[in-house]
Chains A and B, each alone.
Chain A
């Protein structure tokens, strides 16, 4: 009996009138956990009942504690007929199971009914007493911490990364069971809510077990989704990254109550990988290949040169340390395009490429049309990889090992033994990320069938494994051994399901995979990488030996390594990266009609359509990027949504100008029919427009690449003895200038061929993409590159729009335009809504698109509008509070390190001349860090002054009184009688993993809530908009209430993962399902001490 759950029902308020005669309610409460139910007394004739119940005690297994929610039902007592339910509250008690999270849940919860919405509030107190568990074979994983945040949570230190964890559970969907025909909609909705809550708990517990087996104590970047497969069932699946996290103060890594032997056995366990299905076809070589490898000259020399550059001879410099061992070319089929997109803009002409794309798609579709049409589309950078590419994965895995050999280690790196070296992180500790290869993605079209045995969800598991294998092999093809910023998604329409996975191929520092590595190896690693802002751009593959035409250029920052001309990634902009000017949101939008069909025919149609869509989305992204004079995309997210008669594609990313990458050339358009003077005239007009647009954008986004290009030697190296080499590299790069120029000239040949009206139309839409109104910026990454002086003003919002395509004879072009307009209009509306916050940036703009019905397109957007200090942004300060936070986090490592000089110089944002001045002075490191500190102070003062001017002192004070706020709460528990006196806690919500100028005191646990709302009086509730408006408002309220009850004042990494809306206007009915998640935290102002 390892746990005791205690609950106390204190009071209710604002209850609905249940008895029309008296205009009052006789309320009582049922408290249920598992199969045990307790009841309070009836509090007669009151809308504000005071129950003050005894402690209801549940003695339960911790397995149940993890799976089950506490279910509180408020009812109206009726002497003559059945008691009427007023509503329910589900409380997830998982946060109480970890010693480091919340200790008590106490507060007012909205009483929720799936038909009527929120009906009053109830004050509840919940506690858990856990007894230590000696059972080794236990099924629970209490104490494993979960974080939605896709980076190391800010008040923890990363001790080790153990890798990818995934799990899925399936069940029958209650709404599709036979019993649903005879029960009320309310009963059906509640069954569904409860089931998903149970399944989420079970999933989390199972993932926790995997983490314990791996020796970890936390899951970071936890992403849970559910798939409503209709008749065939309900799937809840989750992925995350297992880690060992430490509190910076506490030295021994605190593995939660797991047997300590687990950690030492880590290798053994992961080898045996008891968590994996034994039948899994292992294509990755087990430790075998790596052992011989460590004797290879390559593996020992390359890491060495990489690790100790200072001691290397000058010749070592010219020998690129990151070069992969030459790959035998026969292993790779010629790639039509460089994986990093470099060849895309250069490859001959649009039509021929399209032709190629079509051929490729066909060639791919037919042979893989195996049994049941379960065929897989796969793409690396949107381009289909040859199936044989997968075959080579085994051997290429071997090559990958050479990067992974840490010099001191004798044991093989944990990374290569991992089945899937995937990471759900999008931001990384310093030194973690060595190189970025590019985006890898895979999609697969499946036909759904009934899940016969919920206990063995093998089919779904196998599907995902297939996809992950592809991702892995794509990464290998890019010379990368890991995938970061990894995510998975699905889109379902009837029986057809598209499974998608995407991430960024990368080379990571392998020492981080080892427990305790950060303590010994950490300093060295930082030493090498932190001062080079360009390292991550350097290609991990070798252009000389790769058979595909890669268009690589010399790195514009260090001049020593190769970089791609364009870089696409799914991650956040790395901290050390240097950018010119500001970034912006770039979206590619596409709508394609498809014939209505059933089953296999539909699946075939979809899979035939997918390659074209991927190709076109990619082309759009590329064109828009070029038009903005930028050269890299971060946070790329491509969503393909399936409907009955159309497929919608939406790619969002944040474009930036990376200083390390070559400047993008202009865009040139060419006509197909020379001699046609009218067209030539038109084309020259168009060309002028394009040139103007590019020039305008350069100004708008403050991109000044020329100055940066001059400053090739801009990275000062702290130690004086390195100076000579610094100069050498200057001369080196200057000799290469002609080469660079050549590359530049070549890139001017980015040709858009206009051969038909379609292309004209496309071109037109490119040029009419309206920029954000002045004072506004937008990005889909956490913060906008190039803006540094954020204030703590955050307004999170969700906006939903749905359009009906009304015309009978729809054309691709028509729907495309409609969809494009929808997105543009939506953005315009968002800017207008938050206009009072200017200067302001819409951060973490997350668009998601769905096709709920024929001819209906639904777009859901969640983002945070954040205010920044305009003066501060012109003088970018790298030492923003958020950076500070991370520096604090890694204080141990950084204490012996000089402040990173490139950081310093870019912060000043001075023109080239002054920057060399800084470089010359760079030996006086102390000055730099001192200046850093000074400017931080100045920044803080400025921010304060700014917020005071804005008059938003009210919101600040709520944060500033982090500790009084807690006191308020405890008081509110005591004095529940005078409910009217205590004010509601302000809870901030943000999709970001932080709020500027605040510090996270404590993570209280994960928030993962699922709600259904249904109405049969749609018109009376204000139509579909009124209905959904109310529901989303209620969901926000319930999230805030749960966070406040945990003692928190903010939700970070908040996400609305699902917003499924269905309507039947003829029956006056509508239904909506919403799933949200985030991390509940306690925040205080930066300047406040810990409570």
Chain B
């Protein structure tokens, strides 16, 4: 016989009490009752001699607190000087870091996509596909968008801007820089052939591109310096075509690499047979980067034109490394090749990216 019902149930501490476990449930978009279920299975009940009602009340209460805090988390700098909640600094850092943390499965789905309302509408598909709750997908998407909007118009280094405005750890700030960079340049990452790549692979590549190919790599006080690729550099890349269009250069280049690699790799013959194709592949990618469309296809091109042929020839990672080092360095010895600076700037990034991307 239930003769009473709880109308109101509130707990407020002078120091705001926040349970990290419940916070994670909230971030993950669990409903209160789901969170209670999981907590009950977690054994917190026996530990504290509590009942299911106690858990329910506590979870509800914490959810409310998080909801009230959420507004502040949108501008993390406010959290430090707001008066509403008394939260010790290390707890504040935890709250922010966790709020801006994202699932790698989710980010793979939206990486390189335009952070627009259209994308947001498709989030229920993403949710279905990844098994991440829609609520959590939305939070993560909104975080990406918010960071993007804030840093979009700022001068100075991207990672630093993200850190000062969102008080994130260095690692997380770098990840966000990658997300912003990918979103801005709309790199294609969703193709089936790219599915084997993790977010961390892309984040690494983004880091390489940001520090070598953007405007900021040359001048560090312009707007969007770390988001936009250096147009002049992209233009210069056309000059590299000479390496494949000039028959002599191509042969010279091939023989230099072959000399260096002979006896050092088991796939020598395959490499020798394929050299011209591979070289053409890499240089054609470079030459086309002036087109925005081709910039977007950078990673798919790298996979199709270079990684896949090597993989089918069963190159090992060591083979790949050896080849790329000598392929890059040999170009310096070609006396008629005058574009050494552009070549290094291009190949430095391509080499690191391919090495990162060359795995199963």
Contacts and interface: CB of A to CB of B under 8 A. Distances in A.
Contacts of A830: 11
Interface stretch (A305-313, A324-332, A793-801): A793-801
A124 interface: no
Interface in B1-19: 1-15, 17
A239 interface: no
Interface stretch (A61-69, A428-436, A579-587, A1024-1032): A1024-1032
Most chain A beta-carbon contacts within 10 A, residue among B3, B15, B82, B90: B3
Nearest to A807: B3
Contact of A1034 (B14, B49, B57, B84): B84
A346 interface: no
B104 to A, nearest CB: 31
Interface string B57-77: 110110011011000000001
A797 B58 CA distance: 14
A984 B83 contact: yes
Interface residues of A, number: 64
Given A818-B3, A1061-B8, 13 more contacts: A14-B78, A795-B13, A796-B13, A798-B12, A802-B6, A858-B8, A980-B81, A982-B81, A989-B14, A1022-B64, A1029-B65, A1033-B12, A1034-B84
A749 interface: no
A148 to B, nearest CB: 16
Contact of A984 (B5, B15, B17, B82): B82
B151 to A, nearest CB: 18
A1010 interface: no
A804 B51 CA distance: 21
Interface string B83-105: 11110111000000000000000
B50 interface: yes
B10 A1028 contact: yes
A1029 B84 contact: no
Given A818-B3, A833-B58, A986 B51 contact: no
B48 interface: yes
A1037 interface: yes
Interface stretch (A199-207, A293-301, A821-829, A942-950): A821-829
A14 B74 CA distance: 13
A249 interface: no
Interface string B24-54: 0000000000000000000000011111011
A1040 B83 contact: yes
B285 to A, nearest CB: 44
16 contacts: A14-B82, A795-B14, A795-B15, A799-B10, A800-B8, A800-B9, A804-B5, A804-B7, A806-B5, A828-B54, A954-B89, A954-B90, A982-B81, A1029-B64, A1034-B84, A1037-B84
B3 A833 contact: no
Nearest to A825: B53
B80 interface: yes
Contacts, number: 155
A1033 B6 contact: no
Q: Which 5 A-B pairs have the closest CB atoms?
A: A802-B8, A773-B49, A797-B13, A818-B4, A807-B3
A1033 B68 contact: yes
Give chain B's interface secondary structure class.
mixed
Interface string A1-27: 000000000000110000000000000
B194 to A, nearest CB: 39
A986 B86 contact: yes
A1041 interface: yes
Nearest to B62: A833
A705 to B, nearest CB: 28
A955 interface: yes
A983 B88 CA distance: 11
B83 A833 contact: no
A1037 B80 CA distance: 14
B77 A980 contact: yes
B3 A814 contact: yes
A407 B12 CA distance: 54
Contacts of A356: none
A832 B58 contact: yes
A13 B84 CA distance: 13
B17 A833 contact: yes
A55 interface: no
Interface string A828-855: 1111111100000000000000000000
Contacts of B65: 1029
A1037 B86 CA distance: 8
A108 interface: yes
A1040 B8 CA distance: 25
Most chain A beta-carbon contacts within 10 A, residue among B10, B48, B86: B10
A983 to B, nearest CB: 6
A973 to B, nearest CB: 15
Contacts of B54: 825, 828-829, 832
A955 B82 CA distance: 18
B86 A805 contact: no
Contact of A797 (B9, B11, B49, B55): B11
A983 B8 contact: no
Contacts of B80: 980, 983-984
B14 A1036 contact: yes
A801 to B, nearest CB: 5
Contacts of B12: 797-799, 1029, 1032-1033, 1036
A773 B48 contact: yes
Most chain B beta-carbon contacts within 10 A, residue among A954, A982, A1033, A1040: A1033
B11 A829 contact: yes
Nearest to B64: A1029
Contacts of A773: 48-50
Contacts of B51: 825, 828
Contacts of A982: 81
Contact of B86 (A818, A822, A987): A987
A810 interface: yes
A110 interface: yes
Contacts of A1030: 68
A798 B10 CA distance: 8
Interface string B152-167: 0000000000000000
A79 interface: no
Contacts of A833: 11, 13, 17, 58
Interface string A973-993: 000000110111011110000
B334 to A, nearest CB: 55
Interface in A483-533: none
Contact of B4 (A13, A797, A803): A803
Contact of B48 (A802, A831, A858, A1033): A831
A408 to B, nearest CB: 49
Most chain B beta-carbon contacts within 10 A, residue among A121, A796, A831, A1029: A1029
Given A807-B1, A989-B14, A13 B7 contact: no
A821 B53 CA distance: 12
B10 A1029 contact: yes
B45 to A, nearest CB: 9
A585 to B, nearest CB: 16
A799 B82 CA distance: 23
Contacts of A550: none
A1061 B7 CA distance: 12
Nearest to A834: B17
Contacts of B84: 110, 118, 1033-1034, 1037
Interface string A582-613: 00000000000000000000000000000000
A358 interface: no
A982 B77 CA distance: 12
Given A795-B14, A1025-B60, A835 B48 contact: yes
Interface in A39-90: none
A721 interface: no
A799 to B, nearest CB: 4
A50 to B, nearest CB: 15
Contact of A800 (B10, B60, B81): B10
Contacts of B13: 795-797, 833
A1076 to B, nearest CB: 12
